[in-house]
């Protein structure tokens, strides 16, 4: 699912809001009807929020193409979110470095 969504975004989306993004994770529910798609975007938080808006507007296209390319009984509803794990990891790393040097 992650690879297919990434491929669709790279080759099929022409929305300028969706710039350089990376799909970092996809969490599917047990019944495969919902998926949280986490993205990481180049730039600041505003660009990441714009990328999420662009992806949400292209959700119909992405789901339709997933249906054509993947043989699933259900094509999940996609919930695009900004992955904040990198920011949290950097903050923890910075705090640990500050503690180590003091």
pLDDT one digit per residue (tens) for the chain, 102 residues: 899 999 998 888 888 888 788 899 999 999 889 999 999 887 778 888 888 999 999 999 999 999 998 888 889 999 999 988 777 777 887 888 888 665
Please give the Cα distance from 62 to 4 (Å, whole number): 9
- DSSP code of residue 81: E
Res 100: pLDDT: 67
Please name the residue that has the structure tokens 């249906």: 67
In this structure, which CATH number among 3.30.300.20, 2.60.40.10, 1.25.50.20, 3.30.460.80 belongs to the domain 2-101?
Answer: 3.30.300.20
> 3-class SS at 23?
strand
Instruction: List the chain domain ranges.
Output: 2-101
Res 11: pLDDT: 86
Res 53: pLDDT: 92
Q: How many CB atoms lie within 10 A of CB 37?
A: 25
């Amino acid at each position: 699912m992650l690879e297919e969504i990434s491929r669709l975004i790279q080759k099929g989306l022409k929305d300028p809001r969706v710039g350089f993004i990376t799909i970092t994770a996809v969490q599917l529910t047990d019944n495969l009807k919902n998926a949280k798609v986490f993205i990481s975007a180049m730039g600041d938080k505003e660009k990441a929020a714009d990328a999420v808006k662009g992806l949400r507007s292209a959700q119909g296209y992405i789901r339709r193409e997933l249906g054509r390319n993947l043989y699933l009984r259900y094509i999940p509803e996609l919930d695009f979110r900004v992955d904040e794990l990198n920011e949290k990891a950097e903050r923890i790393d910075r705090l640990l470095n500050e503690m180590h040097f003091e």
